[in-house]
C-alpha cells in the first residue's frame, strides 16, 4: 500500500503545482479556464491586461472599453490563434500591429469605432480564416489593398458599417473567400457599385449570400 500512497501524493503535488501556476499566470480580473485561454470579457477594461501568458492561444477581450492595441502586442504572442476584441472602443489599428500574427485564425474587431481599414492593416496574416469587421458605425473606407496577403481568408464580415463604396480589388484578391457580408451599408449607386455588384454576381457560385442594395 505504501507505494500507492506515494504515487497518490506525487500526483496531488503535481496537480497543485499546475493549478497554482495557472492561477499565477492569469491576469487579474480575468479567468483562465484552461492553460491556453484567457477570458477577460465584460471586465470594464480600459487597456489590455498585464501578465498575459506568452503561450496564450485564445484571448477573449469582448465587451470592454479598450481604445487601442499596441503595435508590438502580437510580437510576444506568436501562438495566438483566436482574438476577440468585439465591442470595445478601438478607433484605429496601427499599421504593422497584426503583421506578425502568423498563426491567427479568428479575429473579431466588430462593434468598435473603426473609421478606416488602410493598406497594410493585416500585413500578410496567411493563416487568418475568419475576419469580423461589422457593426463599426464610422467605418467608411476600406483600402483596395486592405486584405492583401490574406490568402486563407474564407469569411469576411463588413455588414452595418458606413461604407458607401468598396473597390472590387479588395475582395477579388482573396482566393479562398467563401462568405462575405455587406448588407446594411449606405451604398451609392455609381460605377464602383456597379462593378462590385457585377463581380458578386459573377462569383455567386462561391459567394451565394453576398447581396447588396444601393441608396439612390
| Tens digit of each residue's pLDDT (9 = 90 or more) over 145-199 | 999 889 999 999 999 999 999 999 999 999 999 999 999 999 999 998 999 999 9
Band of residue 2 on the pLDDT scale cut at 50, 70, 90: very low
The SS3 call for residue 155 is: strand
Stronger pLDDT, 70 or 113, i.e. the higher one:
113
What letter would DSSP give residue 75? Answer: G
**pTM across the whole model:** 0.86
Cell of 31: 479567468
According to the model, what pLDDT value does residue 7 have? 47
Q: How many residues does the chain have?
A: 216
According to the model, what pLDDT value does residue 94 have? 82
Cell of 203: 462569383
Residues 98 and 75: beta-carbon distance below 8 Å: no
Distance CA 80, CA 16 (A): 26
Q: What is the pLDDT of residues 16-61, one digit of tens each?
A: 334 333 445 899 989 999 999 999 999 999 999 988 999 999 999 9
Stronger pLDDT, 18 or 62, i.e. the higher one:
62
Amino acid at each position: 500500500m505504501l507505494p500507492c500512497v506515494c504515487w497518490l501524493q506525487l500526483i496531488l503535488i503535481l496537480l497543485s503545482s499546475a493549478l497554482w501556476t495557472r492561477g499565477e499566470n492569469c491576469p487579474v480580473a480575468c479567468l483562465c479556464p484552461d492553460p491556453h485561454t484567457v477570458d477577460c470579457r465584460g471586465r470594464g477594461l480600459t487597456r489590455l491586461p498585464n501578465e498575459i501568458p506568452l503561450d496564450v492561444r485564445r484571448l477573449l477581450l469582448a465587451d470592454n472599453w479598450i481604445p487601442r492595441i499596441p503595435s508590438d502586442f502580437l510580437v510576444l504572442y506568436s501562438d495566438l490563434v483566436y482574438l476577440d476584441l468585439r465591442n470595445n472602443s478601438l478607433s484605429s489599428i496601427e499599421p504593422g500591429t497584426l503583421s506578425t500574427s502568423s498563426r491567427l485564425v479568428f479575429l473579431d474587431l466588430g462593434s468598435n469605432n473603426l473609421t478606416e481599414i488602410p493598406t497594410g492593416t493585416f500585413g500578410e496574416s496567411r493563416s487568418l480564416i475568419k475576419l469580423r469587421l461589422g457593426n463599426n458605425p464610422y467605418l467608411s473606407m476600406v483600402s483596395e489593398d486592405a486584405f492583401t496577403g490574406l490568402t486563407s481568408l474564407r469569411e469576411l464580415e463588413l455588414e452595418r458599417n458606413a461604407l458607401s463604396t468598396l473597390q472590387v480589388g479588395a475582395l477579388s484578391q482573396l482566393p479562398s473567400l467563401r462568405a462575405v457580408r455587406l448588407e446594411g451599408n449606405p451604398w451609392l449607386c455609381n460605377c464602383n457599385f456597379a462593378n462590385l455588384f457585377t463581380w458578386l454576381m459573377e462569383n455567386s457560385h462561391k459567394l451565394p449570400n453576398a447581396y447588396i442594395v444601393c441608396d439612390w
